[in-house]
Amino acid sequence: MSPQIVVDSAEDANRLAHTSTLISPRFYTTDFAAMNRIDVSSVRKEWDQMMSEYEGDNNHDHFQRPPEFASEIHDMDPALKQEFLDFLVSSLTSEFSGQILYNEIRKQVDNPDIKQLMSFMARDESRHAGFINQSLRDYGLAVDLGNLKKTKAYTYFKPKYIFYATYLSEKIGYARYITIYRQLERNPDQRFHPIFKWFERWCNDEFRHGESFALIMRANPKLLSGLNVYWIRFFLVAVYATMYVRDHTRPELHIALGLDPAQYDYTVFRITTEITKQVFPISLDTDHPSFRAGLERLHLLSDRIAAAKKQGGVFGLLKQGVWATAAVATFARLYFFPVKHHALPQQIRMVPAW
């Protein structure tokens, strides 16, 4: 399966940012009154420490392009360029999704802790989104963020789902960026675009955003026990499976970086699982051969669904239905695959040590 939309013009880039599919980044809205009631007093010490880190803003000068940036942009093979642009647009969309959500929460609440946190995180995400959009602009493909904000569909999530999903996406974002950064640090000749040099300090922001949600959840232990553990399990499987399927739509990008998509994803899962032990009482056994076979089957089925969609007509539709049913069953098997259980550590916060 290749990227969903060929990006040839600014119009295509904007259209791609707007698409809502199972694997594309979404925009979220939530229950602001419930957000306003979040109490972090039981983790006050760690919270205040984190707030002073945000205030210190050690990345305030990081997202500016030096003059030599442009001279490091070279022509690339058209197939690689397509996947790279697809990667930039989807990264931009998820950074901007964070910016919009955090900013909206900041505006809607008067709880000083939450308001302050959201304004720091919106600040960071707006820098990240702006930085990626500059790279799209180099190709004449900048996304109109104002318009995207007004016209893209929003998904409503209860605060607890926002916490599970956003915590995971921040931590996975960290694990993805640091894995690419370390790979290119070892193999600088494979750094085919200068943006990758920014990933190390960049992903420390994402790591800290994840820490914020970790503290919020640990301050509200109900979110991490009882029936909610089934929700945590659902989000873990959904986020990991989505990432696995999506990364396999970009074979050229991974070849250029010297990474095998499956191996890259397993590395990211391992790092993410290590980190999520700070909050989640369970983790997925992503190194188990049967779990891996399930992910591989999901990837295969999503290729078949895409091919059936292309075929069109009654038979195409029928095939789509068959493969989609098989995909749901595969997802269910992954969901019920035995998980690992752990006790939560006393000290909640972690350092980005990868």
Residues that bind Fe ion (CB under 5 A): 95, 98, 125, 128, 170, 206, 209
**Nearest approach, Cβ of 211 to Fe ion (angstroms)?**
11
- 96 or 323: whose CB is closer to Fe ion? 96
User: Which burial class, exposed, middle or buried, applies to 81 when counting CB atoms under 10 A from its CB (0-12, 13-18, 19+)?
Assistant: middle
Write down the least CB distance from residue 95 to Fe ion, Å: 5
CB nearer to Fe ion: pick between 161 and 335: 161
If one counts every other C-beta atom within 10 angstroms of the C-beta of residue 46, the result is: 18
Structural element, H or E, at residue 28:
strand 27-29
Output 62 or 292, the one with its CB closest to Fe ion: 62
Toward Fe ion, which CB reaches closer, 82 or 99? 99
**Judged by CB, which is closer to Fe ion: 164, or 291?**
164
Q: What six digits make up the tokens of 32?
A: 């602001």
CB atoms closer than 10 angstroms to residue 291: 20
Which residue is it, tokens 């490091």?
Answer: 72
169-to-19, 49, 57, 112, 189 alpha-carbon distances in Å: 19, 23, 21, 24, 29
Please classify residue 261 by burial: count the beta carbons closer than 10 Å to its beta carbon, then call 0-12 exposed, 13-18 middle and 19+ buried: buried
Residue located via tokens 């694997």:
23
d(CA 235, CA 224): 13
Residue 248: CB minimum distance to Fe ion, A: 23
Considering the complex, what minimum distance in angstroms separates the CB of residue 130 from Fe ion? Answer: 11
Q: Which is nearer to Fe ion, 46 or 170 (CB)?
A: 170
d(CA 345, CA 202): 27
Rounded to the nearest whole angstrom, what is the least distance from the CB of residue 125 to Fe ion in the complex? 5
Q: Cβ closer to Fe ion: 131 or 331?
A: 131
Q: Look at residue 221 and give its three-state secondary structure.
A: helix
How is residue 349 written in tokens? 């916060």
Question: Cβ of residue 68: shortest distance to Fe ion, in angstroms?
Answer: 24
At residue 348, what are phi and psi to the nearest 5 degrees?
Answer: -80, -45
